[in-house]
């Protein structure tokens, strides 16, 4: 996008997976690499925004000019987002955040059972980061992603409404798509429209998404 598109705007972006510990050596996580969120951070910075990237564990280097805060768990991600969103204009939730965490984290490594082949874990719900941020800071323009293996449009539009977002980026993650890939295709849904982004490199896709976000943001403000 043109360097002016997000001049003087503060953008908070979440990226990557979260890790929910089970014991000192094990965790629950997912296949997010952080590539899409980091590409968005790079594109937003190139569009003139001041960007804070709240990142789960990834192998990626921080894009030039971007402030990065590293977190592990969903709770840590929410705390970091709460701290940095008060003065922000736009919040983009690209992280793949665990919906659940262990009800209790074992302080010592869990031992393999001698007498049972099955192990049950009790999980409790994590806070919904983007829904909490949208509720706490109603002035924010909030953009979510929806990663779905079925009923993509329906589920994405439901998340748009239920989480009180301005825009949602629907990601078909059936098969080997989206997670950890260098290319992706998505469909953006907002309350008055939709737009298809065909398969392309994530950095190029990020430019297109940032252009759409700034257009809708300017229309709303």
112 is in an annotated binding site: no
In which residue are the tokens 């469909």 written? Answer: 187
* Chain residues 158-217 in contact with ligand PMT, contact rule CB under 6 A: 159, 171, 173, 178-180
Over the window 16 to 45, marking each residue x when it contacts ligand PMT by CB under 6 A and - when it does not, the resulting string is x---------------xxxxxx--------
Quick note: the x/- pattern for ligand PMT over 52-91, rule CB under 6 A, is ----------------------x-----------------
Q: Which is nearer to ligand PMT, 39 or 48 (CB)?
A: 39
Least CB distance to ligand PMT at residue 190 (A): 14
Residues that bind ligand PMT in the complex, under the rule CB under 6 A: 14, 16, 32-37, 74, 93-97, 99, 126, 128-130, 144-147, 159, 171, 173, 178-180
Residues annotated as catalytic are 30
């Amino acid at each position: 996008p043109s360097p002016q598109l997000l001049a003087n705007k503060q953008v908070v972006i979440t990226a990557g997976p979260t890790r929910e510990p089970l014991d000192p050596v094990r965790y629950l996580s997912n296949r997010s690499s952080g590539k899409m969120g980091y590409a968005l951070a790079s594109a937003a910075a190139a569009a003139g925004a001041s960007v804070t990237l709240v990142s789960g564990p990834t192998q990626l280097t921080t894009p030039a000019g971007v402030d990065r805060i590293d977190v592990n768990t969903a709770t840590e991600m929410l705390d970091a987002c709460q701290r940095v969103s008060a003065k922000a204009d736009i919040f983009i939730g690209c992280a793949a955040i665990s919906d659940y965490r262990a009800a209790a984290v074992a302080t010592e490594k869990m031992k393999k059972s001698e007498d049972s082949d099955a192990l049950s874990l009790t999980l409790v719900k994590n806070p919904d980061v983007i829904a909490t941020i949208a509720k706490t800071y109603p002035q924010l323009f909030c953009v979510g992603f929806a990663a779905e293996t079925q009923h993509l449009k329906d589920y994405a539009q439901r998340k748009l409404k239920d989480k009180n977002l301005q825009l949602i980026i629907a990601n078909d993650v059936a098969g080997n798509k989206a997670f950890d890939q260098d290319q992706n295709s998505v469909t953006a849904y907002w309350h008055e429209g939709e737009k298809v982004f065909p398969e392309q490199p994530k950095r190029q896709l990020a430019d297109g998404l940032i252009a759409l976000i700034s257009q809708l943001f300017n229309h709303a403000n």
